Structure 1
Amino acid sequence: MRIKALFSFGLSLIFFFIITFIKPPIDLANAAISQVGCKLPTQSSALLSVLQKCVVPENNPDQFAWELFAFVNQAARFQEKTKQGQSTNNAIWETWADDPLTFPEKPDPSQPPQWPEKLSSPKQLRLRSKVEKSQPDADFIEFQKNQACTPENAPCEEVRRNKPAFNYIMNNDLWYTQGLTAKFQSAQKALLKGESVQDFIKFPLDSIEVKGDWVPITENQKSEFHWNYDEKGDLYGLIAMHISSKALPNWFWATFEWVDNYGRCDYIGCHDLFGVVPHNLPSKQAINQQYSPGKITPELVSLFKEHGLTESWGQEWQHYRLKGSMTDFTDSTGQPLLLGNSITEQGFVPSASCITCHSRAAVTSLGKDAFPIAGFRPFLPGVGETGSKQTVGSAEIQFPNGPLTQSYSGSPDPNWFYRGISVQNSAGVVDVQAEEILKNLQMDFVWAIPFNAKPAP
């Protein structure tokens, strides 16, 4: 009897130990979505199935923006050594395929680029894509692309994409000019058959692209930034970050800034209903000033903890603030919605719209960039001629005293992509448009394709 009682007691202890200390493996593929938020997994392989059940991008866009931020900024499993022997400080997005890997200088269709299974190539920073007046009184702009960046001409920039986005570019031959030409021809044939080409280029649901802008910093400034080294061993701090996700048909857009950026909330304010209080910071009348950091919410602290953004790694990311998120071209009244980063959209923040600008990512029948100056309209007269220099990190950045140009905003113009053929009736009156001819083929909001694809020899 005593032995039976002891045996039962022993089984009870074992059962208690199992349910208390041993957790069953989490089925990330079938993980339920919380009603108060979309909990992204810690494994990239499970991202697609979770997003398919997620409605947060539209209903709680600021929360989803921070979910993406915490997801892509998990510490990478693999680090590397620079040529000078420094150890990198990579977040997972910094190990994804960058533009130089995705779009080689001399593409060979028989040997497409391969996904970096452990690490991408060392950080190759480029001059940020910005607009400048080539001459003080010029009426045109200079749009910089693919120019090498050094600490002396920072901010520097990089664009990276996750494996689903990378594979889509490779599998559809969107990484070189001849592939784009063939895609355009196929789309034109489909259009002439009466088929829609709106989704002719359509990235998978779990695609993510990240743009990061960097300035040189000193060793003593590491604690104030997410920091990393470039391929030459120069030390940089992150000051701006765009994240775009195909979670919505026209992508989801979010932009983040280093908390002490000058002019962070200028012109259009800063808006975040999830991660910081106060939730809204209006623009100051005097531009190029610093803004209050506000206070990070307990919900954001909890989110960071869930994704391993804790201790010294988590402290790096508490120096960043959401500028805003975007899910549509206009509000319910038809007014254009605006979103622009003080660094990446410097010079046109008052009219910036991530979604409208990227809708113009398109190629011509020759597979070339349809809009070499992206989403920009002509210069505004008499503004932005001079500005002030401010120290960010250890870099001196010139801030204009006003907008240099205008960006398109609001709904896209069909004339950017189609031209119609009209016919006359027997009375010589022009009838309605008989058919549409493809003028430029959209690249599903991905500027990296028309910007970077090059012809195969």
Structure 2
Amino acid sequence: MLRLICLLTLLCATGTAAAQGIVLPWGVPTDFIAWEQFALITAPSGDPQTGKVEFETWASDQDIYASNPAQWPAVDAPKILHVSALGQMHLLGRKSSEFDPARCRSPRGLPAPAGNGAAAGTRFPLDGCIGEEVRRNWASFQYIVSNGLDSHAGLAHAYAIGLRVNLPADAIEFKGDWAKVSDVAKWLQTDAGFVRQHYYTAYAFNASTRTEVALLAFHISSKQIANWVWADFEAGTNPGRCDTIGCHDSFGAAVANVAPNQVGNQAYGACAKSTALQALLHNAGTAPVWNNYCLKGSQAAFIDRNANPYLLGNSVIEPLNAGIPVARSSCMTCHAYASFDQRGNPNASPLIEPLNSPVGLVDQSKMIGYLSNDFIWGISLPEMK
């Protein structure tokens, strides 16, 4: 299987490797951790009036970094999406704009003039748009706010005292990308009913506009180890979801390793679930629609035993929405550069070239003059207080 992946993706020739789950020192596989966190965050929140799942009740980056003071959201707070922060990193100082269906900003990965072409061939509607949200659980929120890491002034103080930013072991972060149900139907050449059956849907708000959106893909990171455990999930019907690096899931998938198609942006079919995963999701009370999501892979190291950089990224968040090819995607490496200087400004320079996004070990020369923010990129929010 590894030989096949090398032949189809040229990963071996380019000295990179698809991230595959490992077993942590205490005997737990990271693929299991990925699904355990998945079950936790997609379980019902317990509020029958809103029908939200757990992650939708957490604080967004706007709640933490833009609100003054930071605020934990009310259970019935509306979902407000934004353009991809990563996709706009090269536009330093730009204020993050809300997801506005009436004035769509085309995803950065579409061909020019809409974007840089990292997702060329995806067939996503040229007039479509993708909204993104980043949410952090109570453990993350409490640590960030109590240490004053939610403002430029607070970061400057942390730098001055040499604070070692170190979130607690129960911290969890979520990044999800959503698109209008109508755009997804056009993308898949189907109807809205099919989209609602195969994607988790909700309503996003902009001014007085309410728009039905579908969750295309998401990242989860959790702090079980110092460098966090990273996991990528996609809806099974996303075209090209296993392209470039394949899909790897030793716990939840009936077929643990799926090689990339020889032709990109094609369907991979449903990802049949293992008996163990079916039991896990049933016990968590997750809705049936979540069975349509697939683990792309989990990551817990920068490089493999041969010093080849591990790659992990999904077809929506990186190439389509941020303009970063999967072949230049590493969740861990990207977030390892999250740091700030003596003025509380983020270290954005390593990420301003999407087509050459960093992978592998961190280049420590790019961290000189910066203090690590423990893999948290919320500090890059342009409207940070």
Query: Normalising TM by the smaller chain, what interval?
Result: 0.7 to 0.9
Q: Note the 1:351-390 alignment, pairs <5 A.
A: 351-372=328-349, 375=351, 378=353
User: What TM-score does the superposition give when structure 2 sets the normalisation length?
Assistant: 0.77
Structure 1 regions of 5+ residues with no counterpart? 1-53, 81-87, 133-139, 188-196, 379-403, 419-438
The answer to whether 1:123 aligns with 2:79 is yes
Q: Note the 1:332-351 alignment, pairs <5 A.
A: 332-346=305-319, 347-351=324-328
The answer to whether 1:94 aligns with 2:61 is no
Residue 277 of structure 1, CA deviation: 2.4
Q: Is the 8 A contact 2:95 2:383 kept in 1?
A: no
Q: What do residues 59-115 of structure 1 show as CA deviations (whole Å, max 9, x unaligned)?
A: 4111111111001110111255xxxxxxx441111001111111125x3xxxx3232
348, 355, 365: which is aligned to 1:405?
Answer: 355
Structure 1 pair 255–56 and aligned structure 2 pair: CA distance change class (3 A): farther
Structure 1 pair 64–124 and aligned structure 2 pair: CA distance change class (3 A): same
1:204 is aligned to 168
SS at structure 1 position matched to 2:356: strand
Structure 1 pair 244–452 and aligned structure 2 pair: CA distance change class (3 A): farther
1:265 is aligned to 242
% identity of equivalent residues: 33
Structure 1 pair 73–337 and aligned structure 2 pair: CA distance change class (3 A): same
Number of aligned residues: 320
1:149 is aligned to 99
The answer to whether 1:454 aligns with 2:376 is no
SS at structure 2 position matched to 1:345: helix
SS at structure 1 position matched to 2:218: strand
Q: Is the 8 A contact 1:56 1:64 kept in 2?
A: no
The answer to whether 1:240 aligns with 2:217 is yes
SS at structure 2 position matched to 1:210: strand
1:427 is aligned to none
Residue 453 of structure 1, CA deviation: 6.5
Q: Which amino acid aligns with 1:208?
A: I
Higher-Rg member (1/2): 1
Q: Is the 8 A contact 1:101 1:121 kept in 2?
A: no
256, 264, 275: which is aligned to 1:298?
Answer: 275
2:136 is aligned to 161
Residue 128 of structure 1, CA deviation: 2.1
The answer to whether 1:174 aligns with 2:124 is no
Structure 1 pair 328–145 and aligned structure 2 pair: CA distance change class (3 A): farther
- Distance in 1, Cα, partners of 2:27 & 2:305: 14
- Distance in 2, Cα, partners of 1:60 & 1:452: 37
Residue 292 of structure 1, CA deviation: 2.5
The answer to whether 1:67 aligns with 2:36 is yes
1:26 is aligned to none
2:226 is aligned to 249
Greater RCO structure (CA 8 Å; 6+ sep): 2
Q: What root-mean-square deviation, in Å, do the aligned CA atoms of Structure 1 and Structure 2 show?
A: 2.3
- Distance in 1, Cα, partners of 2:151 & 2:251: 41
- Distance in 2, Cα, partners of 1:93 & 1:57: 27
The answer to whether 1:228 aligns with 2:202 is yes
The answer to whether 1:114 aligns with 2:71 is yes
Residue 355 of structure 1, CA deviation: 0.4
Structure 1 pair 122–328 and aligned structure 2 pair: CA distance change class (3 A): same
SS at structure 1 position matched to 2:279: helix
Residue 216 of structure 1, CA deviation: 1.0
> Whose strand proportion is higher, 1 or 2?
1
Q: What do residues 161-217 of structure 1 show as CA deviations (whole Å, max 9, x unaligned)?
A: 000100111111111111111111111xxxxxxxxx7xx000011000101111111
SS at structure 2 position matched to 1:205: coil
- Distance in 2, Cα, partners of 1:175 & 1:353: 25
Q: Which amino acid aligns with 1:215?
A: A
Residue 450 of structure 1, CA deviation: 3.2
